[in-house]
Structure 1
Amino acid sequence: MSQANACFPGLRLEQGSAYENLFAQYGSFPVVISLEVVAHVYFPRRWASTLFALVEQGGTAIVSTPYHGYWKNLAMAVTGKMDGHFSVLWDHDHIKFWSVDTLDRLLREAGFGDIRLRRVERIPALAKSMVAIARK
């Protein structure tokens, strides 16, 4: 954080946890971006609730996470790539694996609507990541 603040002294940068009441600390915003976070949280519903609280009414949340769907997982299994991709030996790596359906369901449970999900990088069935744009 100190390096980021040194590089961008005119920009207010803060650090917090999705498990804290960030709304009480910072208020809400017209746009909240959460990139490559949800795959690393133990309690995704708490993360989604915090995200929802941080987005002002009528605002937008932008979320990205690695994509995992049937065809991609099947391709990894057939090619012997599952152990390398889902390695249990990595510390602090992905602990949740999201599909379009599961991310959509999580965001809807939190209260978001008008959710648009796009798979990105590579062909859709084997996409590397996905991006969700959700309205409050």
Structure 2
Amino acid sequence: MHTTSSHYYGNVNPTLLEVVNPSAQRIAEFGCGTGAFARAVRQRCTGVVHYVGIELMADELTKARDALDVALVRNLDQTPNWSNDPELTAALVPDSFDHVIFGDVLEHLYEPHRVLTQAVTCLRPGGSALVCIPNVQHWSVMAQLIRGHWPQQDAGLFDRTHIRWFALTDMRQLLQQAGLVVEKIIPRVFKPENGQTLLQALLPAAQLLGVDPQQFIQYSQPLQYVLVGRKPLGSKASAL
């Protein structure tokens, strides 16, 4: 069985943290790990926060309980209809949360659209989904494909537990199809000098395919994107 170090579950994504509304009062985090992000959110927020954490790994969730008001162990791929789960429906009251958060989680799910759509029902009108998703258009993916090899790693773009892959257009569509208005897209670029030689060499291929060369380079540098999707004010859900 594949195991991952607890450091994987204890990271805090500073870009994701920055888009948390400091006045948020009700937050649900999917894939909360050991609670590191929940603790950081509580420090950021100015008032009392009701925090629901949902996590696949029971051992990791045990370490998070001090940071959570409600802690549930769930495999969301095995819970297709949340309305059939009394604990989930009690914890995730429709139209009541300021944020639902997915930090590097959706790519691990067989049905990310179904999960995100159900999570959106929990948002109050005007509330927002905060998501971070790896970018499959990153230059390092192209480099590996040219070499004819797909690495199997413990974390990052080549995490062996990834099931779905997204470029930026796919990420936008995922949020929009879940009923959200994409309000903010923040690229996370690390060591932008890396990969430049490869990208310049691939510019003729981009032009051959009718892709704007500068857009190609721009979209191939982020390792991840953080997106903020707002639930329209007129949108309400009566049930999960």
TM-score tier, shorter chain, comes to 0.7 to 0.9
Higher relative CO (CA 8 A, sep ≥ 6), structure 1 or 2?
1
Asked which structure has the greater CA Rg, the reply is: 2
- Matches of 1:114 and 1:83 in 2, distance apart? 31
User: In structure 2, which of residues 107, 114, 121 is the aligned counterpart of residue 53 of structure 1?
Assistant: 121
5+ residue gaps, structure 1: none
More off after superposition, 29-38 vs 119-128: 119-128
- Matches of 1:62 and 1:72 in 2, distance apart? 25
- Residue 127 of structure 1 is matched in structure 2 by 222
Q: Does 1:37 align with 2:105?
A: yes
Q: CA contact under 8 A between 2:185 and 2:228: conserved in structure 1?
A: yes
- Matches of 1:127 and 1:63 in 2, distance apart? 15
Residue deviations 1:14-42, cap 9 Å, x none? 22454424873221311111111100111
- Matches of 2:150 and 2:161 in 1, distance apart? 14
Secondary structure at 1:3 match in 2: helix
* Matched AA of 1:83: W
Q: Does 1:3 align with 2:71?
A: no
- Matches of 2:221 and 2:159 in 1, distance apart? 25
- TM-score using structure 1 length: 0.78
* Matched AA of 1:24: T
- Residue 12 of structure 1 is matched in structure 2 by 69
* Matched AA of 1:84: P
Secondary structure at 2:162 match in 1: coil
- Matches of 2:183 and 2:152 in 1, distance apart? 28
5+ residue gaps, structure 2: 1-60, 193-217, 232-240
Q: CA contact under 8 A between 1:40 and 1:92: conserved in structure 2?
A: no
> Cα distance 1:118–1:91, how it changes in 2: closer, same or farther (>3 A)?
closer
- Residue 84 of structure 1 is matched in structure 2 by 151
Q: CA contact under 8 A between 1:104 and 1:115: conserved in structure 2?
A: no
- Matches of 1:73 and 1:121 in 2, distance apart? 14
**Post-superposition shift, 1:115?**
3.4
RMSD: 2.8
Higher strand share: 1
- Residue 66 of structure 1 is matched in structure 2 by 134
- Matches of 2:103 and 2:133 in 1, distance apart? 7
- Matches of 1:121 and 1:93 in 2, distance apart? 22
